[in-house]
Structure 1
Amino acid sequence: MKIGIIAPPWIPIPPPAYGGIEYFIDLLARELAAAGHDVVLAASGDSTCPVRRLPGFPAADAAGMGHTAHELSHVLRAYEAVAHVDVVVDNTIAGPVIARSVRLRAGVTVAHGALVPRLQEIFAAAGTTMSFVAISHHQASTARQFRFAEVIHHGIDVDAVPVGPGGEEACFVGRMSPDKGVVQAISAARSAGIRLRIAAKMREASECEYFESAVRPLLGPRVEYLGELSASEKFELMGSSCALLNPIQWDEPFGLAMIESLATGTPVVATGRGSAPEIVVEGETGFIRGDPDELAEALQRASSLARSSCRADARVRFSGRRMASDYASLFARLTARRDDMDPFTEVDAAGELEPRS
C-alpha cells in the first residue's frame, strides 16, 4: 500500500528532543515501511526519518510555530505531493480543511490534541473527505458528535528502551506546567517520604515563570530538578526509579511518558484524568488515585509491583508494531470501501466505521 504521511512544519522528524507528535510520526513511518508498505513523508527539509522523504520543504521553524500562513503553505505543498497515494495520514491542524479541495482515495487525520471547540470546527469543515482517529477512548468521548473511524493508542519502540533495575527514588517527566502536576508530584513524594527527581521541558516563558514561582521554592535535598533530558537520559532516569509519578491535572489525550516508563519496567502512579486509566492496569502496572494522600500511599506500594509485568504490558499493548498494525488495518478497510465506488464520490467513511471497543 502507498501511504503518504504529512507532518507539521515546526520540528524535524524524528525530533531532536521534545516532540510527541514528531516521535509518533517517525515511529509510524518506520514501522509501516518495515511491514512492507511504500511510505512517503512530507516533513521539514532537515528531517532524517529513514523512509522516502519528499524534497523541496524548508528546514523546521520552531520559532514560527502557530503562524497560520507558514502551516498552510507547508500543508498545501504536502497535499499536492501525496495526492496520488492510497492513503494520506495528516498530522496537522490545517490539513482537514485543505483536504476538502484535494481528490484523495482515502484520508486519515490523527487527533493529537485536546478536542477543543475550535479544533472540532476545523474537523467538521473536512466534511466526509477525511476519517478521524482518536488516540484514546477518553479523547473520543469529548467529541461525541464525531464517530471516529478508530481509536488507536500510541506506541513506542519498546526494543529501543532499556529495562532498568528500579530504585528507591521516584521520578516525574513532563513539561514544566501546572497542568502536568509537578507540584502535586512533589507533595505526594514528600508525604510518602520518597525522594523525587524531576525531568521537565522548560523553554517557554510561561514554563520558566511557573518554575520560578511555584517549583523552585520546593526544591531541596529530597526534590531535585534535572532539566530537560535526552531520550537515553530519560530512560535511565525512569528505569532507576521506583515509580513514575504522573498526577496529571488535565484530561490529557494520551500520556506517552507513562508507556515509556512501563517499557523500562517502572510502574506508574497517576491521577485518573484523561487517558491514564486506559494505560495503567490497576494493581499490576501501577495505581490510579485521586488526592495527594492517596497518591503518596500508592507510591509507597509501587515497588511491590513486578517490573517484568510492566515491561510485558508495554510490549503487548503499546509497541510501535502493534500501533502500525492497527493503522494498516484501518487503511485497508478505508481503501476497500473506496474501491467499491467511484473514488471521487464523497462517502461518510468515518461515520460508517464503528470505533473499536
Structure 2
Amino acid sequence: MRIALIAPPWLSIPPIAYGGIETVIDDLAKGFTAAGHEVLLCATGDSTCPVPTTWSFSESQSTRMGTSAAELRQVLFSYASAGDADIIHDHTLLGPVFAAERSLHNVVTTCHGAFDEDLQKIYQSAAPRIPTIAISQDHALSAGAIPIARVIHHGVNPDRFAVGSGAGDYLAFLGRMAPAKGVDTAIRVARAAGLPLRIAAKMSQPEEHRYFEESVRPLLGGDIVFMGELGFADKVELLGNARALLNPIDWPEPFGMVMIEALACSTPVVARRRGSVAEILQDGLTGYICDTEVELVEAVQQISTLDRYACRQSVEQNFSSKRMVDDHLDFYQSVLKPERTIDLRKTPSDRADLAHGLRGAEPLFQWA
C-alpha cells in the first residue's frame, strides 16, 4: 500500500521536544514502513523521520503556529505531492475540507483536538466524504453530528522507554504551560501532600508565558522546581524516577499522551476525571482517577501501594505503537474496499500546476 501522511507544518517529525501529534505521525510512518508499505511523509524539511519526505517549508513553522496561510500552503503542496498514494492520511485541520471539496475518496483524517464549536463546523463540512478518526471513545462521543468512522487510541513504542523505579521520590508534571493542564493545581496538590514536584512544560506562546507569570511563578520555590521544556531522553528520566505523574487536567482532553508515556516508564498516574482519562488509567491499578483536589492529594499519598509493573504492562498490552499501526492499517483497508474506491487522482501535470510556486523548481515526489 502507498501511504501518504500529511503533518501540520508547526513542528518537525519527530519533534525535538514537545509534540504529541508529531510523535504519533513519526511512529505511524516507521511502523507502516516496517510492515512493508511505501510511505511518503509530507512534513517540514528539518524532519528526521527515516522515510521519504517532501516539504514546502524547509524548517518547522512554530512561530506561525495556527496561521491559516502557512497551513494552507502545507496542504496544497502535500496533496500535489501525494496524489498517487493509495491512502492519504491528513493530520492537518484545513486539509480534510480541501479534500472534501475536491471529492477525493482516498483521504482519511484524524481529529487531534477537542470537538469544540469551531472544530465541529470544520469537520461537519468534510464529513461524511472524508472518514474521520477520533482518538478516544470520549472524544467520539463529543463529536455531535460528525460521523466518526473509527476510534483509534494513540500508542508508544515501549522499547524506547526505560523502566523506572521511582527512586527520585518526587512527583512529576509534564505538558503545556496552560490553565487547562492544571500546573497550578499540581503545585497545590504536591505541597499539600508534602512531596517535591518537578515541572517540565512547553512554554512558547504568549498565553503560556502569561499563565506562567500570573499563576505559576508565584507558587515556585523550595521543592517545587520548573525545569522548562525537556527533550526525549530527559523526559524519560524525569518520568522514570518520579513517584507518580500528576495530570490534573481541567478540560476534555481527547487523549493524554503524557499518561501513556509515564505508564511506559512504569510510573503510575494521578489524574482528574476528564476526557480520555478513564480509558487510559485503570483506577486503583495503574493510577488513581479523582474528582477533587482533596482526592488528588489523598491519591498521591497512597501511590506507593500500586504495582509499577502493572503500569508498564498496560502499555505493552493496550497502548503500543504496534497496536496503533495495526489498527490504522485495518482501517485503511476498510476505506479501500472496491465499492468505495473511485479513482479521482490527478494527472502529473495537474499536480504540477497545483504545486507551482510552492517549492521552487524541485520536482514532486515520485512513487516507486
Answer yes or no: same fold by TM over 0.5: yes
Distance between the aligned counterparts of 1:258 and 1:13, measured in 2? 21
Instruction: Report what 1:188 is aligned to.
Output: 189
Instruction: Report what 2:353 is aligned to.
Output: none
Instruction: Report what 1:232 is aligned to.
Output: 233
Provide the TM-score with structure 2 as the length reference.
Answer: 0.90
Query: Could you tell me how far 1:281 is from its partner in structure 2?
Result: 0.5
Contact 2:44 2:54 in 1 (8 A): no
Superposed, 1:1-357 pairs within 5 Å as 1-54=1-54, 57-102=57-102, 104-167=104-167, 168-336=169-337, 339-340=338-339, 343=342
Contact 2:55 2:77 in 1 (8 A): no
Query: Could you tell me how far 1:341 is from its partner in structure 2?
Result: 5.3
Out of 194-203 and 288-297, give the one that drifted further.
Answer: 194-203
SS in 2 for 1:315: helix
Aligned CA-pair RMSD: 1.5
Distance between the aligned counterparts of 1:342 and 1:18, measured in 2? 37
State the one-letter code of the partner of 1:332: Q
Distance between the aligned counterparts of 2:70 and 2:228, measured in 1? 31
SS in 2 for 1:198: strand
SS in 2 for 1:249: coil
Q: Deviations over 1:98-142 (max 9, x none)?
A: 102445342111000111222222212224331000001111111
Distance 1:294 1:68, change over 3 A: same
Distance 1:341 1:98, change over 3 A: closer
Contact 1:79 1:102 in 2 (8 A): no
Query: Could you tell me how far 1:300 is from its partner in structure 2?
Result: 1.0
Query: Could you tell me how far 1:144 is from its partner in structure 2?
Result: 2.7
Distance between the aligned counterparts of 1:203 and 1:70, measured in 2? 18
SS in 2 for 1:281: coil
Contact 1:28 1:320 in 2 (8 A): yes
Provide the TM-score with structure 1 as the length reference.
Answer: 0.92
**Paired positions, count:** 343
Query: Could you tell me how far 1:184 is from its partner in structure 2?
Result: 1.1
State the one-letter code of the partner of 1:162: A
Distance 1:127 1:272, change over 3 A: closer
Distance 1:236 1:55, change over 3 A: closer
State the one-letter code of the partner of 1:165: S
Distance 1:171 1:127, change over 3 A: closer
Q: Deviations over 1:37-88 (max 9, x none)?
A: 1111111122111111126553322222222122112201111221221111
Distance between the aligned counterparts of 1:103 and 1:216, measured in 2? 50
Distance between the aligned counterparts of 1:183 and 1:104, measured in 2? 46
Contact 1:106 1:335 in 2 (8 A): yes
Unpaired runs of at least 5, structure 2: 345-368
Distance between the aligned counterparts of 2:341 and 2:295, measured in 1? 57
Q: Deviations over 1:206-229 (max 9, x none)?
A: 222222221122122221111111
Distance between the aligned counterparts of 1:208 and 1:249, measured in 2? 19
State the one-letter code of the partner of 1:313: S
Contact 2:56 2:77 in 1 (8 A): no
Unpaired runs of at least 5, structure 1: 346-357
Distance between the aligned counterparts of 1:103 and 1:238, measured in 2? 45
Out of 201-210 and 4-13, give the one that drifted further.
Answer: 201-210
Contact 2:152 2:328 in 1 (8 A): yes
Distance between the aligned counterparts of 1:45 and 1:192, measured in 2? 46
Query: Could you tell me how far 1:151 is from its partner in structure 2?
Result: 0.5
Distance 1:294 1:128, change over 3 A: closer
State the one-letter code of the partner of 2:27: L
Contact 1:43 1:54 in 2 (8 A): yes
